[in-house]
């Protein structure tokens, strides 16, 4: 079944070449006990290693069942050792960090035998060698003879065709040696056993064939092989394969023997993970705080559409940056001028706000819009009796209450304001007084309402009983010749039945969740009032005649026959109430999500229109949000970049530690190779160890970072009054553990590669 044909093997060190085997030609029977005798250096062990596939011959051929091994690749030799060869070593060569049962199972594990089956076979062979009751002990808990029995059991477990024994009793006492030899003799009844020994007495007592060697040559064969018919068998070798679970098991057991070093290594490599985890937790927490701030405060910021808007898209911003910074194209040596648009022309966009667009806005989904405010040029003629004297108070700042699109939905006042007294203003004669966070109102407003602004405080009841008078154009202006002037009879105007009485019906204050810097105070009126005033004033005498006149009917100033003159006249008519189209529109989204839908609705208006005809809007909340988000992202990236340095350092450290581990486990590498483990299996063992360290490092880092969040949040609360600022995102945790694993695998890849390339014979000799 086994034939060596003209085998030569030599080793070269520098300029010296040692010929270990010289034209060895031997044939072996399927069942026999062969003892190979000879002095040290005669080539016995080299012969055994070549037969076992641990070493390679230089020339000649090793033939198994008439199949040449000349074309064998590494994977074929690995499979051959695993399936056909069982090694019994003088020094036992057991893997010390796994138990006896696992040592015996290892060869079957590499063959892909199922767990249940290999456990059964391993226990059977352990019983055969008398060690079944010691199955779960570690090798260092056994005597020398017991360890050699384990080695024999391991050699038998995968039912190989050939047993190779290298001085199997060399480290045993005489009594134990006899027991081991009897066991090997029993094995030789149905297998080929080739034993290398220095002891001629053992050879003569137990072997049925003795081959003597000297200086790399066979000098005597006591029972040469005679060719017999029908001796060959089919030669088939199953491929070996160590799965990742087995590699993990081996690595885990090795890690257990070095728990202290492993924990320190994992902790050291987790420092970078801890730093990044804390940074990401703070970033995540601040993002959430910003998000809360945005939803609670920025949602109160309206989307603004004005006659003249800033077009701040990415292309425009890039163009502005190019104009403001130098580049290689600056200062060209040319003798001509290149025209370009000014920044104002590039950025500023003239919106043409039409009635059609206003109608489009008022058809928006009321689920997205809580209100719309229109700012018009129309002047309001306001008067009041102040300290017994009737005066015009047109100088006070008054704004409009956002118009609610659908009365079944909550209004802006209901959503964003607390009603301190009275009720919300809804009719045209009703006013609303807005106070700031401290209930402050400017003195000029209080004076205009006819209240004593010098008082230390003014009751809500006094304010709710206050009122103003609004005079329409028809009564306010009177014609004198070709001009108009303000009616001087204020008493008559004040008491005229056509004068509209405006009454304060409610006092409101912005809700506490909105920051104080966006809170304003003042009088507000309903859009119904302004619509009514424009409707009445459009038909007034002064408006009708101003349309026809080429000069200002109040000042006598001529309107130039230019575009600018026409614009001045239009503004004058708008002030008098002829034009209902606003110059600024403010849209109030119900919340941040609604804002997204509202901007989509506005974008839909611009679809298919040329850039000049599009309406550009300003989303203040988006500007603030993007700025805060970009700043936070930039800070996070910088901090993460600094922390990542420690990750790189830890990756290098893992590589060093894994290299040390390779050196420590060199003999284990040789043992696994002798059992048929492939090079990739050896690499997998060490890669799985780095995988375990990487997982441990990542988990330790996340755990420590999670624990550090408690003091970090306490400190931040003391400094900022913000609760639970630092919040760890589970996705970030998973990503960081993954990064930890990847970096440790990268760090351990070179040592694992070095381990896989170790020569099995040299590895077995190491201690």
C-alpha of 8 from chain center: 59
Residue-wise pLDDT for 679-722, tens only, equals 888 888 888 888 888 888 889 989 998 898 888 888 878 887 77
Q: Kindly list the domain boundaries of the chain, sorted by start residue.
A: 2-240, 255-296+627-765, 352-615
430-435 and 500-510 as β-strands: parallel, antiparallel, unpaired? parallel
Q: How many residues does the chain have?
A: 767
What letter does residue 401 receive in the DSSP assignment?
A: P
Residue-wise pLDDT for 366-393, tens only, equals 888 888 988 888 989 999 999 889 999 9
Residue-wise pLDDT for 399-438, tens only, equals 888 888 888 888 888 888 899 999 999 999 999 999 988 8
Lowest pLDDT segment from 42-56, 172-186, 204-218, 256-270 = 256-270
Single out the residue of 139, 143, 129 nearest to residue 179, CA to CA.
129
Single out the residue of 25, 69, 30, 26 nearest to residue 230, CA to CA.
30
Cα 304 to Cα 146, 335, 349, 623, 716, distances in angstroms: 89, 45, 13, 12, 36
Single out the residue of 470, 393, 458, 463 nearest to residue 433, CA to CA.
463
Most confident of 301-305, 333-337, 554-558: 554-558
**Helix (H/G/I), strand (E/B), else coil: 338:** coil
For position 758, what pLDDT does the model report? Answer: 87
For position 727, what pLDDT does the model report? Answer: 83
CB contact at 8 A, 631 and 263: no
CATH of domain 2-240: 3.40.50.300
Place of tokens 């509202």: 598
In angstroms, the CA 23 to CA 15 distance is 22
CB contact at 8 A, 51 and 162: yes
Residue 36 φ then ψ, to 5°: -105, 115
For position 634, what pLDDT does the model report? Answer: 66
The mean pLDDT value for 662-675 works out to 85
For position 624, what pLDDT does the model report? Answer: 59
Q: What is the mean pLDDT of the chain?
A: 84
Cα 641 to Cα 125, 257, 274, 375, 725, distances in angstroms: 57, 36, 13, 49, 22
Q: Is it the case that residue 199 has pLDDT exceeding 60?
A: yes
Lowest pLDDT segment from 286-300, 528-542, 559-573, 679-693 = 286-300
Residue-wise pLDDT for 507-523, tens only, equals 999 888 776 545 577 89
Percentage of the residues of the chain whose pLDDT score is greater than 90: 31
Q: Is it the case that residue 193 has pLDDT exceeding 90?
A: yes
Q: What is the DSSP string of 156-206?
A: HHT--SEEEEESTTTTS-HHHHHHHHHHHHHHTTSSEEEEEES-HHHHHHH
Cα 158 to Cα 101, 167, 240, 477, 562, distances in angstroms: 13, 21, 12, 115, 106
For position 194, what pLDDT does the model report? Answer: 94
Cα 583 to Cα 352, 374, 528, 718, distances in angstroms: 9, 8, 18, 47
Single out the residue of 213, 208, 210 nearest to residue 188, CA to CA.
208
Q: Is the dihedral of CA 540, 471, 528, 397 positive or negative?
A: positive
Lowest pLDDT segment from 140-149, 631-640, 688-697 = 631-640
For position 327, what pLDDT does the model report? Answer: 58
Residue-wise pLDDT for 119-136, tens only, equals 999 999 999 888 899 999
Confidence of residue 534 (pLDDT cuts 50, 70, 90): very high
pTM: 0.57
Angle subtended by helix axes 259-296 and 730-756, to nearest 10: 150
For position 523, what pLDDT does the model report? Answer: 93
In angstroms, the CA 33 to CA 24 distance is 19
Round the CA-based radius of gyration of the chain to a whole number and report it: 48
Joined together, the tokens standing for residue 619 give 């989303």
CB contact at 8 A, 428 and 528: yes
Percentage of the residues of the chain whose pLDDT score is greater than 70: 89
Confidence of residue 313 (pLDDT cuts 50, 70, 90): low
In angstroms, the CA 484 to CA 115 distance is 107
For position 667, what pLDDT does the model report? Answer: 86
The mean pLDDT value for 16-39 works out to 91
For position 383, what pLDDT does the model report? Answer: 93
CB contact at 8 A, 666 and 295: no
Q: Is it the case that residue 292 has pLDDT exceeding 80?
A: no
Neighbours of 534 (CB within 10 A): 17
**Helix (H/G/I), strand (E/B), else coil: 34:** strand
Q: Is it the case that residue 448 has pLDDT exceeding 80?
A: yes
Neighbours of 528 (CB within 10 A): 17
For position 486, what pLDDT does the model report? Answer: 92
Q: Is it the case that residue 628 has pLDDT exceeding 60?
A: no
Confidence of residue 542 (pLDDT cuts 50, 70, 90): very high
Confidence of residue 65 (pLDDT cuts 50, 70, 90): confident
For position 170, what pLDDT does the model report? Answer: 81
């Amino acid at each position: 079944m086994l034939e060596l044909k003209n085998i030569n093997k030599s080793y070269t060190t520098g300029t010296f070449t040692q010929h270990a085997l010289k034209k060895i030609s031997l044939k072996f029977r399927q069942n026999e006990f062969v003892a190979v005798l000879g002095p040290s250096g005669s080539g016995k062990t080299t012969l055994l290693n070549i037969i076992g596939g641990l070493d390679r011959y230089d020339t000649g051929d090793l033939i198994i069942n008439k199949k040449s091994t000349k074309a064998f690749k590494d994977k074929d030799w690995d499979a051959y050792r695993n399936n056909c060869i069982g090694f019994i070593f003088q020094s036992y060569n057991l893997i010390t960090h796994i138990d006896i049962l696992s040592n015996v199972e290892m060869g079957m594990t590499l063959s892909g035998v199922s767990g249940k089956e290999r456990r059964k076979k391993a226990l059977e062979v352990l019983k055969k060698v008398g060690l079944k009751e010691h199955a779960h002990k570690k090798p260092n808990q056994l005597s020398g003879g017991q360890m050699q029995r384990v080695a024999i059991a391991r050699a038998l477990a995968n039912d190989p065709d050939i047993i190779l024994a290298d001085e199997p009793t060399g480290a045993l006492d005489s009594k134990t040696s006899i027991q081991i030899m009897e066991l090997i003799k029993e094995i030789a009844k149905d297998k080929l056993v080739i034993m290398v020994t220095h002891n001629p007495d053992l050879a003569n007592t137990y072997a049925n064939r003795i081959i003597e060697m000297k200086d790399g040559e066979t000098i005597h064969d006591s029972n040469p092989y005679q060719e017999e018919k029908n001796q060959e068998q089919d030669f088939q070798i199953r491929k070996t394969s160590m799965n990742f679970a087995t590699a993990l098991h081996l690595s885990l057991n090795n890690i257990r023997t070095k728990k202290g070093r492993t924990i320190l290594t994992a902790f050291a490599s987790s420092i970078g993970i801890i730093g990044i985890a804390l940074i990401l937790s703070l970033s995540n927490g601040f993002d959430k705080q910003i998000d809360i701030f945005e939803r609670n405060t920025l949602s109160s910021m309206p989307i603004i559409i004005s006659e003249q808007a800033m077009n701040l898209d990415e292309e425009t911003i890039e163009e502005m940056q190019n104009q403001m910074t130098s580049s290689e194209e600056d200062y060209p040596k040319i003798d001509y001028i290149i025209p370009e648009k000014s920044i104002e022309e590039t950025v500023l966009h003239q919106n043409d706000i039409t009635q059609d667009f206003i109608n489009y806005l008022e058809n928006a989904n009321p689920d997205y819009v809580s209100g719309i405010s229109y700012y018009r040029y129309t002047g309001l003629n306001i008067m009041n009796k102040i300290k017994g004297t009737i005066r015009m108070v047109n100088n006070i700042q008054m704004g409009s209450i956002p118009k609610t699109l659908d009365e079944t939905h909550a209004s802006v006042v209901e959503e964003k304001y607390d009603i301190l007294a009275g009720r919300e203003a809804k009719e045209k004669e009703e006013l609303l007084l807005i106070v700031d966070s401290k209930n402050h109102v400017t003195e000029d407003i209080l004076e205009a309402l006819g209240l004593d602004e010098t008082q230390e405080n003014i009751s809500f009841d006094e304010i709710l009983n206050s009122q103003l008078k609004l005079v329409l154009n028809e009564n306010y202006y009177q014609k004198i010749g070709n001009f108009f002037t303000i009616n001087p009879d204020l008493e008559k105007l004040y008491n005229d039945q056509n004068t509209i009485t405006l009454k304060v019906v409610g006092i409101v204050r912005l809700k506490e969740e909105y920051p104080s810097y966006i809170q304003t105070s003042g009088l507000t009126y309903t859009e119904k009032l302004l619509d009514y005033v424009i409707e009445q004033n459009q038909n007034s005498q002064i408006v009708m005649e101003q349309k026809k006149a080429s000069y200002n009917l109040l000042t006598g100033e001529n309107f130039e026959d230019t575009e600018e003159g026409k614009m001045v006249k239009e503004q004058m008519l708008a002030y008098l109430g002829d034009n209902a189209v606003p110059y600024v529109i403010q849209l109030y989204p119900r919340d941040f999500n609604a804002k997204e839908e509202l901007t989509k609705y506005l974008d839909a208006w611009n679809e298919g229109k040329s850039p000049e005809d599009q309406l550009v809007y300003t989303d203040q909340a988006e500007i603030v949000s993007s700025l805060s988000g970009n700043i936070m992202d930039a800070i996070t990236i910088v901090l993460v970049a600094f922390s990542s340095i420690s990750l790189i350092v830890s990756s290098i450290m893992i590589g060093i530690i894994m290299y040390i581990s390779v050196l420590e486990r060199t003999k284990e590498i040789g043992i696994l190779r002798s059992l048929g483990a492939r090079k990739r299996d050896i690499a997998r063992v060490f890669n799985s160890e780095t995988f375990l360290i990487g997982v441990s490092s990542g988990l330790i880092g996340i755990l420590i970072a999670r624990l550090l969040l408690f003091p970090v949040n306490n400190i931040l609360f003391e400094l900022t009054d913000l609760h639970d600022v630092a919040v760890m995102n589970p996705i970030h945790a998973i990503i960081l553990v993954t990064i930890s694993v990847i970096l440790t695998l990268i760090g351990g890849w070179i040592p694992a590669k070095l381990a896989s390339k170790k020569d099995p014979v040299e590895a077995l000799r190491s201690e």
